[in-house]
Chains A and B, each alone.
Chain A
Amino acid sequence: MKIVKFLSLALGVMLLGVSVGDAQEVNLYSARKEALIKPLLDEFSNKTGIQVNLVTGKADALLKRLETEGANTPADVLITVDAGRLHRAKAAGLLAPINSAVLQESVPANYRDPENYWFGLSLRARPIMYALEKLDPNTLTSYEDLADPRWKGKICVRSSSNIYNQSLVASMIAANGEQQTEQWARALVANLARPPKGGDRDQIRAAAAGQCVIAIANTYYLARMTTSKKDQREREAAGKIGIIWPNQNGRGAHINVSGAGVTKFAKHKDNAIKLLEFLVSDEAQRFYADSNHEYPVKADMEPSDILKQWGKFNGDAVNLSLLGKYNSTAVKLMDRAGWR
C-alpha cells in the first residue's frame, strides 16, 4: 500500500531529525513562557555559540515528561516559575546538584536549594493591593489581618488551584502552623467579595472597579497594567490601586522565585551550568527586571522604576524549599476551608 510506504518514510525522516546529538547545544524544559525567556536564550546563543533548544509547558506536565523519559531524557535544564515545583523535581530524583561558585555567590541562600539542586533566578512578590480611595493602608498590615471580619465582602483573590496562592498558604503554614492557617483561610473565604475566578489581573481590575477593596496579586501584574501602552483603561485601573507590604514587622511579604535546576541525566551538563550562570548575570537580571517587572535575585541589582516607586520591603526569609514541602498540605487545607 502506498500510504503505508509514505508513512514509514515520514517516520524515518522524523527519527532522523531527532538523532543529532553532539553539537554545541543545551536542551531546556521551561515552565516560563517563551516570550519571557526567549530573548535571553538568543542572547546566550549569540555570546557562547551554544544553541538552546526549548520546549515550554506547564511545570507539572514537564516534570512528568522528564520523569517518564528517565535516563534517556534529552532535557538538560528545567526552569519553573515557582520554588515548589523545583522542590518536587528534586524530591522525585530528577535533578542533580550544581557546583558553581558564580551561582552560589549571586543567589542568596534562602532563594536556592540548601544542597544546590536548584537556584532562584528572579523574585516575585505577592503583596496586598487596595483601592486607594477606599482604604487607609495603615489599617491593614499583615496577611493575617485579612481574616478580620471587618473586611467581609471586600476581598478578591483568585482560585486556590493557582500555584501562587498555594505557595502563599504554604508559607503561612511554615510560619503559623497548619491549624491556625486553616482558621485563617476559613475567615478569608468568609470575607471574599465573590467566588474566586480569573487571574491576578482580574482581581486588580475588580478592586479598581469597586467590586472589592482588597486584592491579593503578584506585583508584576500591576506593573504591566501600569505600563500598558495600548490600553488606557488598564492604566486607569492600575492608577486606582496601591500596595501594602504586609508583615513588615514580622516575617515579611511573601516571595516566590522563578528558578532552574540541571537534570540528573543531562547530556550537556557544562552548557547547562553555563546557561544558568548567564541567567544570573547582570545583563540577564536586568531583562527580568525591566521586561517583566520581577525583582532581580541578585541583592545588588535595582528593580525597575515602577517597582522602585512602590518602595523597599522586607521579604519572607523562609527557605523556599518549604513551600514545596507544604504544597499539598496547603491544597487540602484550602479544600477544607472552601477556598475554591
Chain B
Amino acid sequence: MVAVSALLALPILVVLSFVFQPAGDVWQHLLETVLADYVINSLLLMVGVGVGTLLLGVGSAWLTTQYQFPGRETLIWALLLPLSMPAYITAYTYTGMLDYAGPLQYQLREWFDWSYGDYWFPDVRSLPGAMAVLSFVLYPYVYLLSRAAFLEQSVSVTDASRLLGCTAWRSFRRVGLPMARPAIIAGLSLALMETLADYGTVQYFGVDTFTTGIFRTWFGLGDSSAAAQLSSVLLSFIFLLIVLERWSRKRARYHHVGIRSQPLNVQFLSGWRAAAAIAACALPLVLGFILPTGQLLLWAFRTADQMVDAEFYRLIRNSITLAAGAAILAVFIALLIAYGKRLSPNRIVNSAARVAGMGYAIPGTVIAVGVMLSLAWLDNSIDFWLRRQFGISTGLLFSGTLFALVFAYMVRFLAVSLQTVESGLAKIKESMDDVARSLGYRPKEVLRRVHIPIMRGSLLTAGLIVFVDILKELPATLILRPFNFNTLAVRAFELASDERLADSAIPATAIVLVGLIPVILLSRAIARSRTTTYVDRTNSNA
C-alpha cells in the first residue's frame, strides 16, 4: 500500500522537483508581461465556475429531493447527462452556434439587415463564456454529491425543522445546506480542480490562464523548467482547495443517526410553482446537454457517411476497454488506500495519497511528462543494469505501453475515486468495524463482508465517474499511447484541431453516447440507493 501510493505520487514529485532548477530569465519575462493575467484569469474563472456549478448543481439537487413535480423522475437522472460531455466539445458547439460567423447571428443579420457593429451580442469566446461552458459541464459533480447528501439527511431532521415552523427556504438554508456542506464542497472542489486543469476550453476561447501559460512557456519559449515551476504554482492553488475541503469536513463528523424506514416526505408542487421547479431543473440540462448534443448531431449527420467505418468501431472498442479497465483499477487502488488509512493511519501513505490526489487539477500533459520521466528513468535503469550484469538489453519495458497510459490515468484520477470511496467509508461508523472484528473477522473479511456491500453505491459511483473521465481524457492519452493505438477522444481532437469541427462530430458524439451508459447506470443506482443501503446492511450479517 505504501509502495502503491508512493508510486502514484512519483510523477507529481518529479514535476515538482523542477522547482529547484534555475529557469534563467524566463521568470523575469513572465512577471513583467503575462503572469498577472494568468493568475487573475484563473482566479476569476474559478470564482465564476464555482458560483455557476453551485447554483445549477445545489439548486437542482434540492428541488429534486424535496419536492414532487411533473417530470421529476426523468430530471433526476437526466441532470447527470452533461457529465458525458467533454468540456472542449461543448465549447466547440457553443462557438459553432453563437459565434459572429455562426448561424444564429447570421440569421439575425439577414432578418434585420444588420452588419458588424450594428447590434450587441455576447461574445461566446471570452472569460464569461468559458465560465458558462465549464459550469454547464461540471455542475453534475456538485449535483451528484449534494443530492446524495440531501437524500441521506435523516427525514426526522428536515421534518423537525418544518414542524418547528421553518419555511421551506429557511429549512433549506438552516438545516439542509449546512448538513450537506461537506458533500457540496467535495463536489465543488472536484469541479474547480477540473477547471484548473482545463486546457481545451480556455485555449479555444483565447482566455489566458495558468494552464495555457504553462504550455506557452514550455512549447513557445521552449523552457520546460519554467513550465514545471508554473505547474507547481498551480499546485499551490490546488493545495488551497484541498485544505478548504479538509477544513470543511473536519468541522464536524457526519454519520447517519438513526435508521430511516420511510422515504423522505416530498412535498407536492402544482401550478406555477411546479412550472418554476421544472424550468429551474431543466435549465442546466438544456444548456449542458440538449443544446450541445443537438448541434453535434446536426454536424454528425452531415459527415456520417465519410466518418463511420471499421476503424471507427475499433476506436469505440479501444476507448471502452481502456476506460473500463482503468476505472476498475482506480476503484481497487482507492479502496486499498482508503481502507489502509482507516485501519492504521500511516503518515507516508497519507501524504503520498494527498500528493497523488493533486493529480486531478494538473493538466494532463504535465502529468504525462511526469509519468514519462519516471518510467523512462526506470526502464533505462533496468536496461542498464541488466546489460551490465548479464549482457541482455530489455529496451523500454513500460514506456510507450498501455501500462504507462493506465499509470497516468491513476495519477490523474485517483483524487476522484479516492474522494468518493473515502466519503463512502467515512459514513460507516467505526463501531461497525469493531463489532465485526469482535465477531472474529479479520480486516480483509471485514472489508469484503461489511464495508464493500454497504458502500457498493460509492464504489460504483467512483468507478463510473473515473470511466467517463478517462473516456474524455485527451492530453495524456495523446502523448503516452502506444504505436497504432487510437481512441475516440484522440480522433475527435485531431479532427477538431485541424479545424474540421463538423468531421469531429462523429467521434465526439460517440464519446457522449458511450459516456451515457455509465451515467445512466449511475443515475439508476442513485435512484435505488436510498432503500438498498439498508437491505444490504441486513444481508451482510446473514
Which residues of chain B are within 8 angstroms of A335 by Cβ–Cβ distance? Answer: 29, 33-34
CB–CB A68/B376 < 8 A: yes
Number of interface residues of A (CB under 8 A): 67
CB–CB A161/B116 < 8 A: no
Given contacts A14-B403, A53-B484, A74-B396, contact A68 B208 (CB under 8 A): no
Which residues of chain A are within 8 angstroms of B29 by Cβ–Cβ distance? Answer: 332, 335
A90 interface residue, CB < 8 Å from B? no
Contact with A along B102-117 (1 / 0, CB 8 A): 0101100000000110
CB–CB B218/A198 < 8 A: no
Contact with A along B461-482 (1 / 0, CB 8 A): 0000000000000010011111
CB–CB A64/B369 < 8 A: yes
Which residues of chain A are within 8 angstroms of B396 by Cβ–Cβ distance? Answer: 18, 69, 72-74
Given contacts A73-B396, A195-B206, A237-B101, contact A88 B479 (CB under 8 A): no
B510 to chain A, nearest CB (A): 16
Cα distance, A224 to B495, chains bound together (Å): 13
Stretch at the interface among B53-61, B79-87, B220-228, B426-434: B220-228
B150 interface residue, CB < 8 Å from A? no
CB–CB A336/B479 < 8 A: no
Q: Which residue of B lies closest to A27 (CB)?
A: B483
B400 interface residue, CB < 8 Å from A? yes
CB–CB B484/A200 < 8 A: no
A328 interface residue, CB < 8 Å from B? yes
CB–CB A198/B204 < 8 A: yes
Q: Which residue of A lies closest to B116 (CB)?
A: A210
CB–CB A15/B101 < 8 A: no
Which residues of chain A are within 8 angstroms of B215 by Cβ–Cβ distance? Answer: 161
CB–CB B499/A201 < 8 A: yes
CB–CB A65/B401 < 8 A: no
Cα distance, A327 to B219, chains bound together (Å): 10
Which residues of chain B are within 8 angstroms of A237 by Cβ–Cβ distance? Answer: 101
Q: Which residue of B lies closest to A225 (CB)?
A: B499
Cα distance, A211 to B115, chains bound together (Å): 9
A21 to chain B, nearest CB (A): 8
Which residues of chain B are within 8 angstroms of A230 by Cβ–Cβ distance? Answer: 302-303, 502
B78 interface residue, CB < 8 Å from A? no
Contact with B along A88-108 (1 / 0, CB 8 A): 100000000000000000000
CB–CB A58/B372 < 8 A: no
B441 interface residue, CB < 8 Å from A? no
Count A-B pairs with CB separation below 8 Å: 167
Which residues of chain B are within 8 angstroms of A336 by Cβ–Cβ distance? Answer: 32-33
Q: Which residue of B lies closest to A84 (CB)?
A: B222
CB–CB A14/B401 < 8 A: yes
From A35, A62, A197, contact of B494 by CB (8 A): A35
- Residues facing B in A52-89 (CB within 8 A) are 53-58, 60-62, 64-65, 68-74, 88
From A14, A53, A68, A224, contact of B373 by CB (8 A): A68
Which residues of chain A are within 8 angstroms of B206 by Cβ–Cβ distance? Answer: 159, 195-198, 340
Number of interface residues of B (CB under 8 A): 73
From A17, A53, A328, contact of B220 by CB (8 A): A328
- Residues facing A in B470-519 (CB within 8 A) are 475, 478-486, 490-491, 494-495, 497-500, 502
Which residues of chain A are within 8 angstroms of B219 by Cβ–Cβ distance? Answer: 58, 60, 161, 163
Which residues of chain B are within 8 angstroms of A74 by Cβ–Cβ distance? Answer: 395-396, 400, 483
Q: Which residue of A lies closest to B220 (CB)?
A: A331
Cα distance, A98 to B482, chains bound together (Å): 26
User: What are some 21 contacts across the A-B interface (CB < 8 A)?
Assistant: A33-B494, A55-B400, A55-B485, A57-B478, A58-B219, A58-B479, A68-B399, A69-B372, A72-B380, A73-B396, A88-B222, A159-B206, A161-B216, A166-B220, A198-B125, A209-B106, A211-B116, A231-B502, A327-B222, A328-B220, A331-B221
Listed from nearest, the 8 A-B pairs whose CB atoms lie closest are A197-B206, A53-B483, A331-B220, A205-B101, A68-B376, A61-B479, A335-B33, A209-B101
Chain B contact residues, CB within 8 Å of chain A: 29, 32-34, 95, 99-101, 103, 105-106, 115-116, 123, 125, 203-206, 208, 212, 215-216, 218-224, 302-303, 325, 329, 332, 365, 368-369, 372-373, 376-377, 379-380, 383, 394-397, 399-403, 475, 478-486, 490-491, 494-495, 497-500, 502
Beyond the given A160-B220, A161-B219, A205-B101, could you list 15 further A-B residue pairs with CB under 8 A, ordered by the A residue number? A53-B483, A57-B478, A60-B218, A61-B368, A64-B224, A68-B376, A161-B203, A195-B206, A199-B499, A202-B499, A210-B115, A211-B100, A328-B223, A335-B29, A335-B34
